[in-house]
Structure 1
Amino acid sequence: MTSVKNFRVDEPATADNLGRGAFVFTDAYSVFDWGKMPDEIPDKGASLCTMGAFNFELLEDSGVPTHYRGVVTEGKERSLDEALAAGNAPTEMAIDLTQVPDLPFADGTYDYDAYHAEAGENFLVPLEIVFRNRVGTGSSLRTRTDPADHGLDYEEWPDEPVDLPDAIVEFSTKYEEQDRYLSREEADRIAGAADIENLEAVAREVNRLVTEQAEHAGFVHQDGKIECLSYEGEIRVADVVGTFDENRFSYEGTQVSKEVIRQYHKRTQPEWVEAVGAAKERATSEGVADWKSLCDRSPEPLEERVIQAARDLYCAGTNAYVGREVFDAPDISAAVETIHNL
Structure 2
Amino acid sequence: MTSVKEFRIEAAATEDELGRGSFLFTDDYSVFDWGKMPDEIPDKGASLCSMGAYNFELLEDAGVPTHYRGVVPAGGGDPVALAEATVPPREMAIDLTQVPDLPHEGRDYDYDAYHDAAGENYLVPLEIVFRNRVPVGSSLRRRTDPADHGLNFDEWPDEAVDLDDAIVEFSTKYEEGDRYLDRAEADRIAGAASVDDLEAVAREVNRVVTERADEAGLTHEDGKIECLYFDGEIRVGDVVGTFDENRFSYEGTQISKEVIRQYHKRTQPEWVEAVKAAKEEAERRDVADWRSLCDVRPEPLDDDVVDVARDLYAAGANAYVGRELFDAPPLDSAIGAVRRL
TM range, normalised to the smaller chain? Answer: over 0.9
Paired residues of 2:146 and 2:153 also in contact (CA < 8 A): yes
* Structure-1 residue corresponding to 2:76: 75
Gaps spanning 5+ residues in structure 2: where? none
* Structure-2 residue corresponding to 1:38: 38
Displacement of 1:139: 0.7
SS across alignment from 1:318: helix
* Structure-1 residue corresponding to 2:173: 174
In the aligned structure 2, how far is the partner of 1:19 from the partner of 1:124? 12
In the aligned structure 1, how far is the partner of 2:284 from the partner of 2:291? 14
* Structure-1 residue corresponding to 2:303: 304
* Structure-2 residue corresponding to 1:228: 227
Paired residues of 2:125 and 2:189 also in contact (CA < 8 A): yes
* Structure-1 residue corresponding to 2:113: 114
1:39-96 Cα offsets, whole Å, 9 max, x none, are 100000000000000000000011000000000012121110011xxx2110000000
* Structure-2 residue corresponding to 1:268: 267
1:98-156 Cα offsets, whole Å, 9 max, x none, are 00000001153000000000000100000000000000112100000011111112111
Matches within 5 A, 1:1-342: 3-73=3-73, 74-76=75-77, 77-83=79-85, 87-342=86-341
**Letter aligned with residue 66 of structure 1:** T
SS across alignment from 1:167: strand
In the aligned structure 1, how far is the partner of 2:292 from the partner of 2:330? 42
SS across alignment from 1:78: coil
Q: Percent identity, aligned pairs only?
A: 74
Gaps spanning 5+ residues in structure 1: where? none
Q: How many residues align?
A: 339
In the aligned structure 2, how far is the partner of 1:108 from the partner of 1:252? 41
**Letter aligned with residue 244 of structure 2:** D
**Letter aligned with residue 25 of structure 2:** F
**Letter aligned with residue 288 of structure 1:** V
Paired residues of 2:2 and 2:33 also in contact (CA < 8 A): no
Structure 1 runs of 4+ aligned residues shifted over 4 Å read none
Q: Tell me: CA distance 1:40–1:291, structure 2 relative to 1, closer, same or farther (3 Å).
A: same
Paired residues of 2:127 and 2:172 also in contact (CA < 8 A): yes
SS across alignment from 2:40: coil
Greater shift in the superposed pair: 145-154 or 176-185: 145-154
Displacement of 1:2: 5.4
SS across alignment from 1:32: coil
SS across alignment from 2:117: helix
Displacement of 1:195: 0.9
SS across alignment from 2:72: strand
Q: Tell me: CA distance 1:287–1:50, structure 2 relative to 1, closer, same or farther (3 Å).
A: same
In the aligned structure 2, how far is the partner of 1:136 from the partner of 1:271? 24
1:237-286 Cα offsets, whole Å, 9 max, x none, are 00000000000000010000000000000011111001101110111111
**Letter aligned with residue 277 of structure 2:** A
Paired residues of 2:29 and 2:40 also in contact (CA < 8 A): yes
Paired residues of 2:106 and 2:288 also in contact (CA < 8 A): no
In the aligned structure 2, how far is the partner of 1:302 from the partner of 1:279? 22
In the aligned structure 2, how far is the partner of 1:111 from the partner of 1:148? 33
